[in-house]
Amino acid sequence: VKEKLSGLDLNAKPVAFVAGGAGFVGSNLVRRLLAEGWNVFVADNFSLGSADLLDSVSANNSLEIVEADLSLRTSALECFSQCARVFGDIDDVWHLAANSDIPAGVTDPNVDLKDTFMTTFALLEACKAWDVKNFHFASSSAVYGQWDGEAGLSETLGPLRPISNYGAMKLASEAQISAACEAFLSRVNIFRFPNVIGTPATHGVIYDFVKRLLDQPTILQVLGNGTQQKSYLHVSELVDAMLFISQHDSPSGGYPQILNIGNDDDGVSVKFIAEQVVKEIAPLAEIRYGSESKGWIGDIPRFSYNTDRLKAIGWRPKLTSKASVERAVFEIASQLK
């Protein structure tokens, strides 16, 4: 800490607190924030993430990483206090800590209550205590639930009918953040992410397929019948959008800004993803599909986004869902080979 406090211009830099910064998306965000001149304080319990994902920047004096369970109010408060000692007052909180394993939350809803909702609750308490005004939240398309309508899912029309505990606790988090916006926060962004892909992958459909094929190169067993059709976004573009939005937003006036981030194309099928992974890893492998139209309980078999709000702010992705998948398959295969 002393070494950091004696640093030359640390006080001149803005301070970001990244909850869940040792995860897949978080580690990408942390690298970008550092590159853009922020002091970054990462708090993570390493349940799903790992400090190893930040190895390439761990020597950076503007980065501090601590292990903490942010579902506990005392622990969140202690992290804010530690951050203040190392870097000074927090300017922006980026809340990405959550249980990202949806089936685990279906088996035991306590997982989502604790890691997805209580982390939000505790971080908001800490923001109130430390008078932090700017809050950015990683929400999810899972808040919408199943939707068979023609139009893409929109922030204003919903529907808001989650079909997983994960989605339910994300929606409950959004509600809690909304109340905090009225009471004490001033700049608030709720980002509803689609399926995000890229490296360093720790979970997700491409990661699973690559791992399975590396273990057993002759057969790829797919959960579901392969027709699930979803929109995908590359993590580099997601981080780009989050930073762009945070740089172009304004005081929320008592309401959070809620934004779908993603592609508004029709997405790609699981069958397409399976074929791409087979082509990359084991071209002779047989793909075996299940019979269900969804992969697991809580899986949303089909969704597409309305991104008019995002476009109105001036951001749109450069890669389609298909191009994002092709790029991520190559990257994840290189990561795991």
Among 16, 20, 270, 325, binds ligand NAD (CB under 6 A): 20
The piece of 86-94, 97-105, 148-156, 292-300 that touches ligand NAD (CB under 6 A) is 97-105
193 binds ligand NAD (CB under 6 A): yes
Shortest CB 196 distance to ligand NAD, Å: 4
Task: Tell me if 180 sits within 8 A of 125, measured CB to CB.
Answer: no
* Parallel/antiparallel/unpaired status of strands 268-269 and 229-230: antiparallel
117 binds ligand NAD (CB under 6 A): no
Among 42, 93, 96, 325, binds ligand NAD (CB under 6 A): 96
Shortest CB 115 distance to ligand NAD, Å: 4
Q: Which is nearer to ligand NAD, 242 or 285 (CB)?
A: 242
Q: Alpha-carbon distance 230 to 300, whole Å?
A: 9
Q: What share of the chain is helix, strand, coil (3-state, %, to 5)?
A: 45, 20, 35
- Residues 240-269 close enough to bind ligand NAD by CB under 6 A: none
Q: Which is nearer to ligand NAD, 99 or 285 (CB)?
A: 99
Q: Alpha-carbon distance 199 to 210, whole Å?
A: 13
AA letter at 260: N
Number of residues lying near ligand NAD (CB under 6 A): 27
List beta partners, residue 192: 139, 260
236 binds ligand NAD (CB under 6 A): no
The piece of 90-98, 176-184, 253-261, 315-323 that touches ligand NAD (CB under 6 A) is 90-98
140 binds ligand NAD (CB under 6 A): yes
Q: Which is nearer to ligand NAD, 42 or 285 (CB)?
A: 42
The piece of 41-49, 79-87, 240-248, 275-283 that touches ligand NAD (CB under 6 A) is 41-49
Angstrom distances, CA of residue 57 to CA of 9, 199, 205, 320: 18, 15, 27, 30
Burial code of 233-261, b = ≥16 C-beta within 10 A, e = fewer?
bbbbbbbbbbbebbeebeebeeebbbbbb
Q: Residue 196 burial by CB count (10 A; 0-12/13-18/19+): exposed, middle or buried? A: buried
Q: Alpha-carbon distance 291 to 166, whole Å?
A: 25
Which residues would be at the binding site for ligand NAD (CB under 6 A)? 20, 22-26, 44-49, 69-71, 96-98, 100, 115, 119, 138, 140, 193, 195-196, 202
